[in-house]
Structure 1
Amino acid sequence: MNVEENVNIRNGTGIRKKRRLWLKIIGGILRALVLFVGIVFIVHVISKGVEKNKIETYGQYVTVDDKQMNVFIQGSGPQTIVLLPGQGTPSPVLDFKLLIDELSPDYRVVAIEPFGYGLSDTTDKARTTENIVSEIHEAVQQLDIGRYILMGHSITGLYGVSYVNSYPDEVLAFVGIDSSVPNQPGMDVKLPLKSMQLLQQSGLMRLLQKVSGDAYASLDYDEHTKEQMRLITNQVGGNATLMDELKHLGSNFKNGEQLTYPNELPVLLFVQSNNEQNEQWVPLHEAQVKQSAQGLMIPMEGSHYLHHTKYKEIAEAFKDYMKHIQ
């Protein structure tokens, strides 16, 4: 064996040793990741079981499509507000609590938790605008509410314009809290639904929320309400009904992009004035209120969840608006 062959053998042996070393390192990392994800999942499953027993019920159930839909009623004023949540809000009733407390001295407030939300059942029925609107209307009928003001956050802007056109003789006015506009751009984007659901079901979302800090820390909710919202978030987040609603988001906007409010319907829109992601946000709402002979837009600086921080201002401006249109 000459010197060159001997060097080649040593080099080959060295390469194989390095390859085996790297394979061991990579294998170790993969095993550690699998172990980590497994621990996160087990903790998530155990925690969900424990937390479920800590959730306190609120409101009452009405039967819609042979399922239970949770509604919460507060106040006994002469007029009724039907209050609807933004897309994916874990506990609509608790999320709206600050605003409900401000409105209920003068109005009867009925907060509805659609299927998949809060304490309501889930459903296999497709989350099309038509089905969602029909179910909410059935809940309103079960409560024997004749005439009412429709108020809601975010996605209610899409469902609401369909609702008022479907039941024009029932709705006295529409009030949007940074509500969606049917023709707003960018709603045809494909969402990574499987990844979103995996994050939730694996427990990784729970972990991310834990390390990212308390989203409710700076808000005016009492500590008990904050804790209940966290518990419900971990229970309902990523359920099949909410995922199906996200799946239908693009088609729901596409099917509703030509819808407008009836000219005779009073429309009041509270709009986030500092939306940096969509420079057309305020102009879109300005155009929308012009559809109503009594339309009014009130810009407010804050997050998309204006009712978390501007609940007093929203309640005061709403009451003033209702006095002027009557």
Structure 2
Amino acid sequence: MNVNQQADREVQSKSKTKKVLNILFKVFAAIVIVILLFVATVYTVNKISSYSEQKRMEPYGQHVSVDGKNMNVFIQGEGEETIVLLPGFGTASPALDFKPLISELSPYYKVVVVEPFGYGLSDQTDKERSTANIVSEIHEALQSLHIDRYILMGHSISGIYSLDYVNKYADEVSTYVGLDSSVPAISEQKVEASEIVPITWYRNLGFPRLQLKMSDDPYAGLPYDEQTKEQLNILIQKNMFNSTQLNEIVSMYSNFKAAEQLTFPVNLPVLFFVQKNHPAADNWVPEHEKLIENSVRGEVVLLEANHYLYRSHAKEIAEKFRGFMTQQ
């Protein structure tokens, strides 16, 4: 091979390499453009949909002033005894989500659903979501309504807050009822504030809407009318991953740790409704039993249900609860 032929081959090789790189660059650029267009479409659809949903949102309950902000409280029933219902973490609209249980309880009790900051129709807050702050805010809301003697009923994470609550306001709480409530011994994993940043971007870009579109309907086959389900879906879109709830996630681990030092007051009647077969924690039932081993009156009722047992077993819960109360 002479020098000229070798030079021609090198030129051809460089030309082919340049063409391949050019094609790869175009493919990469096309992929980037498609991704950007997809993100822009998700963002735009979410903005338009959110604006439309905001106009269709139907108010319920009443606002009370707490720490200079509005906290929403829903009240139904005129019974002599009062039940205060507290939601599990991330419940989009506690008042609507508890609707089947409220319907079963309100003919006999005054039922008060408190929607903490970041939930339902309540304002958001920048204040740390420590147990102390959450408990103080809920108590301030009840004080504003002159509710000073009641049965406290909490779902999921509210079980952790309730442990602190019943000790701080022992003279106000007559009975505690846990609805598959969290226990200190089975803690959530620690989440650092830096880990929340991607979730914030995820929310701001509108991806939760896409996520929910691709998920199963959590209210399918349950006793919720279509209007209620529509409002629930609107409020899920409004509140999912909001900054207040993300703050609560960061505070969750320390809240569980603080609760490890707490027990229920010995003389406080405690009734737990617990799912019989927890999908991840084999010690779910034993840890609930352990929490009331020193209680003068404590009972655990096992249900063939999932974590949101009040949605599917509202009638059974109400009947068991009423029986428990008449035996006191």
How far the C-alpha of 1:312 sits from its partner, in A, is 1.1
Instruction: State the one-letter code of the partner of 1:134.
Output: S
Q: Does the CA contact (< 8 Å) of 2:191 and 2:249 recur in 1? A: no
How far the C-alpha of 1:261 sits from its partner, in A, is 0.6
Cα distance in structure 1, aligned partners of 2:304 and 2:202: 32
How far the C-alpha of 1:280 sits from its partner, in A, is 1.4
Alignment of 1:19-58 (within 5 A): 19-58=21-60
1:254 aligns with one of 248, 252, 257: 257
Instruction: Please name the residue that 2:158 is paired with.
Output: 156
Superposition RMSD in Å: 1.4
Q: Does the CA contact (< 8 Å) of 1:70 and 1:113 recur in 2? A: yes
Cα distance in structure 2, aligned partners of 1:194 and 1:4: 56
Instruction: Please name the residue that 1:170 is paired with.
Output: 172
Alignment of 1:208-287 (within 5 A): 208-287=211-290
Instruction: Please name the residue that 1:90 is paired with.
Output: 92
Is the alpha carbon distance of 1:189 and 1:244 closer, same or farther for their aligned partners in structure 2, counting shifts above 3 Å?
A: closer
1:104 aligns with one of 100, 103, 106: 106
Aligned residue pairs total 325
Unmatched segments (≥5 aa) in structure 2:
none
Instruction: State the one-letter code of the partner of 2:58.
Output: E
Cα distance in structure 2, aligned partners of 1:165 and 1:188: 25
Establish whether residue 303 from structure 1 lines up as the match of residue 309 from structure 2.
no
Deviations 1:199-247, CA, capped at 9 Å, x for gaps: 2221111011112232222221000000000011111222211111111
Instruction: State the one-letter code of the partner of 1:187.
Output: Q
Instruction: Please name the residue that 1:322 is paired with.
Output: 325
Establish whether residue 289 from structure 1 lines up as the match of residue 296 from structure 2.
no
How far the C-alpha of 1:190 sits from its partner, in A, is 4.8
Unmatched segments (≥5 aa) in structure 1:
none
Instruction: State the one-letter code of the partner of 2:74.
Output: F
How far the C-alpha of 1:89 sits from its partner, in A, is 0.5
Establish whether residue 207 from structure 1 lines up as the match of residue 218 from structure 2.
no
Deviates more, 1:94-103 or 1:275-284: 275-284
If the length of structure 1 is used for normalisation, what is the TM-score? 0.96
How far the C-alpha of 1:255 sits from its partner, in A, is 1.8
1:142 aligns with one of 138, 141, 144: 144
Cα distance in structure 1, aligned partners of 2:210 and 2:285: 36
Is the alpha carbon distance of 1:190 and 1:297 closer, same or farther for their aligned partners in structure 2, counting shifts above 3 Å?
A: farther
Q: Does the CA contact (< 8 Å) of 1:128 and 1:248 recur in 2? A: yes
Deviations 1:69-96, CA, capped at 9 Å, x for gaps: 1111111111000000001111000000
How far the C-alpha of 1:103 sits from its partner, in A, is 0.4
Is the alpha carbon distance of 1:115 and 1:287 closer, same or farther for their aligned partners in structure 2, counting shifts above 3 Å?
A: same
Q: Does the CA contact (< 8 Å) of 1:271 and 1:297 recur in 2? A: yes
Q: SS of 1:254's equivalent?
A: helix
Cα distance in structure 1, aligned partners of 2:132 and 2:259: 10
Instruction: State the one-letter code of the partner of 1:209.
Output: L
Cα distance in structure 1, aligned partners of 2:262 and 2:312: 30
Instruction: State the one-letter code of the partner of 2:318.
Output: A
Is the alpha carbon distance of 1:183 and 1:112 closer, same or farther for their aligned partners in structure 2, counting shifts above 3 Å?
A: same
Deviates more, 1:56-65 or 1:193-202: 193-202
Cα distance in structure 2, aligned partners of 1:22 and 1:297: 64
Deviations 1:178-209, CA, capped at 9 Å, x for gaps: 10112214433558422222222211110111
